[in-house]
Amino acid sequence: MSSLRHAMPVVLVLVHAVLALALQGPAAGSGEVPAVIVFGDSTADTGNNNFIQTVARGNYAPYGRDYAGGVATGRFSNGRLPADFVSEALGLPPSVPAYLDPAHTIHHLASGVSFASAGSGLDNITAQIPSAMTLSEQIDHFRQYTERLRRAKGEAAARRIIAGALYIFSIGASDFLQNYLVFPVRGYSFTPAEYEAYLVGAAEAAVRAVHGLGARAVTFAGLPPLGCLPLERAVNLRIPGDCNSAYNMAAVSFNRRLEGMIGRLGRELPGARVAYVDQYGLLSAMIARPWEYGFENSAQGCCGSGTGYVETGALWSLKSALACDDAGKYVFFDAVHPSERAYRMIAGAILNATSHSRLHRFH
Ligand SMILES: *[C@@H]1O[C@H](CO)[C@@H](O)[C@H](O)[C@H]1NC(C)=O
Ligand SMILES: *[C@@H]1O[C@H](CO)[C@@H](O)[C@H](O)[C@H]1NC(C)=O
């Protein structure tokens, strides 16, 4: 709780910054964002995997222990995810509902929805390993959503929501960690450069598909520093406890290509405002200088001792007994996923990316 109160001014500052930027540009009149629409993996799944047969679930303690009511919603963190904070900062609900949760009607989902599925990737094979929903399936659900929205709200209102929404993509880390670098399902058929090109091609196809269905403002997050995730430090055989620099280099190389593709699509797709989010830069700064961001530990997850596979929820069990007292002091909550406080800062980077892309477009 104290960490929540502590972090509150950050969001308020962001809201002010976003409003100030919005008011400067001619975008101000059309100003309001009616919905936040999310695709991705465990960094964006707000509970969809609770409703499918999969081993990738975060609906048990200590996940959710700092969420409202202490509920484990399926979010792989101690609290909310970046998309939730973005939604709140835009004046929308403080959490983005999961599409598959039957508790939500199309009227609830009209102001925001997550199609994300923990364990998913840009590569269809990645989702098959934990039986998560592929990105193609997520986009099929989005198509179905646009139809439901038209039936419920009428053509004009539905079009306003779909064209005015902010779209968030947060996906790709599992392609490398679950599938290519660690357990090389794809390692034998692709060189690293080929796999990178294949994944960026899949990312491009996904952005084109949602643009084709009416999306305009899209943010796409780059990979985090994969080699500095607590899990990868713990299994680093060359220098135990240190970041795996080969994994970081793979992420940097992928991100460069992704950013290039995003810039090109932004110029090419009619009416699109597509922005790359530099998650790598922000997280590596937090990891290198945690104290500047109010963290005390950036090498281990709040849960577990930092010694291996037991510390992430996806395929391994996570022991409540080993959780730290204050997750707000940790960059990571488990061995792979950021803490709520780190996620709140990532939300800031997403909001910044959207305001910058707006400024670039109109000035
Ligand atoms: C994933 O599968 C879908 C459906 O079969 C297909 O349309 C899509 O192109 C595939 N994606 C990739 C990246 O191969
Ligand atoms: C967002 O932009 C504001 C204003 O330029 C800056 O102070 C802040 O550090 C940025 N936040 C992130 C996470 O990039």
Atom of ligand 2 nearest to the CA of 17: 4
Q: Which residues contact 13 (CB under 8 A, 6 or more apart)?
A: none
Is the pLDDT at 189 greater than 90? The verdict is: no
Specify the residue for token string 């064209």. Answer: 163
Q: Measuring CA to CA, which residue among 146, 143, 141 is closest to residue 158? A: 146
Write down the pLDDT at residue 321.
55
Confirm or reject: Cβ of 134 under 6 Å from ligand 1.
Answer: yes
Give 14 Cα–ligand 2 centroid separation in angstroms. 8
Give 122 Cα–ligand 1 centroid separation in angstroms. 9
Confirm or reject: Cβ of 77 under 6 Å from ligand 1.
Answer: no
Confirm or reject: Cβ of 124 under 6 Å from ligand 1.
Answer: yes
Write down the pLDDT at residue 61.
87
Atom of ligand 1 nearest to the CA of 122: 13
Give the percent of the chain with pLDDT over 90: 71
> Can you give the residue range of the structural domain that contains 137?
3-361
By CB atoms closer than 10 A (0-12, 13-18, 19+), residue 258 is buried
Coil, helix or strand at residue 337:
coil
Ligand with minimal distance to 206 CA? 1
Strand partners, 277: 221
Residue from 175, 334, 339, 355 carrying the catalytic annotation: 334
Residue from 41, 87, 337, 355 carrying the catalytic annotation: 337
* φ, ψ dihedrals at 332, nearest 5°: -110, 140
Q: Report the C-alpha dihedral over residues 180, 258, 94, 47, rounded to 10 degrees.
A: -30
How many structural domains compose the chain? 1
Give residue 261's pLDDT band: very low, low, confident or very high (50, 70, 90).
Answer: very high
Pocket residues: Cβ below 6 A from ligand 2 = 17, 282, 345, 348-349, 352
Ligand with minimal distance to 120 CA? 1
CATH number for 329: 3.40.50.1110
Give residue 301's pLDDT band: very low, low, confident or very high (50, 70, 90).
Answer: very high
Q: In Å, how far are 215, 245, 343 from 274, measured between CA atoms?
A: 10, 30, 21
Catalytic (active site) residue 117:
no
Among 14, 276, 352, which is best to mutate for testing ligand 2, by the most ligand atoms less than 8 A from CB? 352
Specify the residue for token string 């508790």. Answer: 103
Catalytic (active site) residue 30:
no
Mean pLDDT of 239-244: 91
Catalytic (active site) residue 108:
no
Is the pLDDT at 308 greater than 50? The verdict is: no
Give residue 168's pLDDT band: very low, low, confident or very high (50, 70, 90).
Answer: very high
